[in-house]
């Protein structure tokens, strides 16, 4: 027996010239066995390395060629067309407007394809001197702050136009002039109270209907669940329309519609993943119903984040009357959201602690939204939050329908009850809107 065979490597039987495998232990066979054992791994490593290099080359080759094509297009001045716009393409996005005694301060951002130069400011069609920081020349996507020494009058409305050096006018308005709230303890407490009025209190009041739900029959429960789905669909549509409207005011570079799509789709998929995970780890039926109630509360909470943002923003621009109007409207609407949270657990007897936690999950985000809207005014942020709220309520409506409504309807054959419930829920919010808007 040769040393290679005695050392332990598996013997390889290689056929000889006659087609018969060589006997184990022969010296020539041992040599082949040694060669195969010691050189196989580096050979495989080499093949793997070449395979990876080939994949990287296949991945980057089109990108490199694309760079060459772009460079060629730029070098030839657009394939020789030399197309230049007939008029300058300029756009500006206005941000937060701050009013202090005798001073109007406006934040703006250049969303044009190129830099712009601010040349003139008009207030109610009168040319007015201004100061601008950091510079009159605003780079693409850069920001600037206009400061106007103007003796504005409380409660008055003002139209402001900013003209570029190309005489392109960008307009904004102050609907109701009032001193802008600043970040103080009193201001934060006021926005906290607004969030409590809008989010937490009406949802907790709506959850008081839980004992009554236990006394209702199955068809009535199906109707109420369908009505909840109708409410959520209407809220989602309302938030989507509002997000698209504000998104349309953003400059082309910020792509408001894209933010809306990302917010809705991303929130839907995230909540769906959370809901499926909770149902997979919760085996009892009561546990699954509580998981669904939590998902409903999270979805409604994200929607209330957008509502708080709208109210805070209304107060931040001095539209106190509009803010009060919104608060009253949302209080009336949100009492139905508490009902939507407890409908999935109507057959159970959850603890008061669990109910209070569900109410906070659904309502407390309105407080955070009021803080953000009142103190950090941003249209892009408003679009994102409204889209997140819309995606959340759409996903929650789908979850209720899939897990409790259409499933039970299939068993009990009550499609007309479902139809009536969904329509009743949507009509409730539509009529409420007519009354308060």
Q: Looking at residue 187, what is its pLDDT?
A: 76
236 — phi, psi (to 5°)?
A: -65, -45
Q: What percent of the chain has pLDDT over 90?
A: 12
pLDDT digits (tens, 9 = 90+) for 39-83: 556 666 666 666 778 888 888 888 888 888 888 877 776 666 666
pLDDT exceeds cutoff 80 at 85: no
Q: What's the full length of the chain, in residues?
A: 437
pLDDT digits (tens, 9 = 90+) for 194-229: 888 888 898 888 888 888 887 878 888 788 878 878
Of 22-36, 129-143, 382-396, which one has max mean pLDDT?
Answer: 129-143
Confidence of residue 18 (pLDDT cuts 50, 70, 90): very low
Residue 44 CA to residue 50 CA, distance in Å, equals: 10
Confidence of residue 120 (pLDDT cuts 50, 70, 90): very high
Task: Return all residues near 296 (Cβ < 8 A) that are at least 6 apart.
Answer: 340, 341, 344, 362, 396, 399, 400
Write down the residue that tokens 């949802």 correspond to: 203
**CA max distance for the chain:** 110
Residue 168 CA to residue 123 CA, distance in Å, equals: 16
Residue 107 CA to residue 160 CA, distance in Å, equals: 12
pLDDT digits (tens, 9 = 90+) for 328-381: 667 776 777 788 788 778 888 888 888 999 999 988 998 888 888 777 767 777
Q: What percent of the chain has pLDDT over 70?
A: 76
pTM over 0.85: no
Dihedral sign of CA atoms 329, 333, 338, 339 in order: positive
Residue 329 CA to residue 111 CA, distance in Å, equals: 34
The token pair that represents 114 in the structure block: 């190129």
pLDDT exceeds cutoff 60 at 36: no
Quote the distance between the C-alpha of residue 182 and its chain's center.
Answer: 27
Confidence of residue 163 (pLDDT cuts 50, 70, 90): very high
Dihedral sign of CA atoms 426, 430, 436, 437 in order: positive
Q: What is the mean pLDDT of residues 391-413?
A: 71
Q: Looking at residue 12, what is its pLDDT?
A: 46
- Residue 376 C-beta-side C-alpha neighbours within 13 Å: 7
pLDDT digits (tens, 9 = 90+) for 169-187: 999 888 878 777 777 777 7
């Amino acid at each position: 027996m040769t040393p290679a065979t005695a050392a332990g490597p598996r013997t390889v039987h290689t056929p000889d010239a006659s087609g018969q495998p060589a006997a184990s232990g022969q010296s020539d066979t041992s040599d082949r066995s040694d060669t195969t054992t010691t050189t196989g791994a580096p050979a495989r490593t080499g093949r793997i390395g070449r395979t990876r290099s080939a994949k990287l080359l296949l991945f980057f080759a089109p990108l490199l060629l694309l760079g060459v094509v772009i460079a060629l297009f730029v070098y030839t001045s657009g394939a020789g067309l030399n197309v230049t716009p007939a008029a300058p393409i300029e756009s500006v996005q206005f941000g937060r407007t701050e009013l202090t005694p005798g001073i109007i301060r406006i934040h703006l951002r250049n969303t044009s394809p190129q830099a712009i130069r601010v040349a003139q400011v008009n207030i109610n069609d009168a040319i007015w001197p201004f100061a601008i920081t950091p510079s009159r020349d605003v780079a693409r996507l850069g920001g600037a702050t206009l400061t106007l020494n103007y003796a504005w009058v409380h409660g008055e409305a003002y139209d402001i136009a900013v003209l570029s050096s190309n005489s392109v006018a960008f307009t904004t308005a102050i609907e109701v002039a009032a001193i802008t709230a600043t970040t103080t303890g009193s201001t934060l407490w006021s926005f906290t109270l607004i969030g409590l009025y809008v989010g937490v209190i009406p949802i907790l009041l709506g959850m008081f209907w839980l004992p009554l739900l236990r006394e209702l029959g199955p068809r009535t429960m199906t109707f109420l669940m369908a009505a909840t789905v109708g409410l959520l669909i209407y809220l989602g549509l309302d938030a989507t329309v509002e997000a698209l409207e504000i998104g349309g005011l953003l400059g082309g570079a910020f792509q408001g519609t894209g933010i809306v799509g990302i917010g809705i789709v991303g929130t839907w998929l995230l909540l769906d993943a959370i809901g499926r995970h909770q149902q997979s780890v919760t085996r009892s039926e009561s546990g699954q119903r509580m998981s669904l109630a939590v998902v409903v509360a999270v979805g409604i909470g994200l929607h209330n984040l957008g509502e708080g943002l709208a109210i805070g923003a209304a107060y931040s621009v001095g539209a106190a009357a509009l803010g009060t109007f919104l608060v009253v409207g949302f209080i009336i609407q949100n009492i139905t959201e508490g009902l939507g949270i407890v409908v999935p657990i109507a057959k159970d007897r959850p603890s008061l602690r669990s109910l209070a936690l569900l109410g906070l999950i659904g309502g407390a985000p309105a407080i955070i939204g009021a803080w953000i809207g009142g103190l950090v005014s941003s249209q892009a942020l408003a679009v994102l939050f409204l889209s997140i709220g819309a995606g959340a309520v759409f996903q929650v409506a789908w979850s209720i329908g899939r897990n409790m409504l259409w499933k039970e309807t299939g068993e009990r054959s009550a499609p007309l009850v479902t139809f009536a419930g969904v329509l009743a829920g949507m009509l409730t919010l539509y009529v409420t809107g007519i009354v308060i808007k």
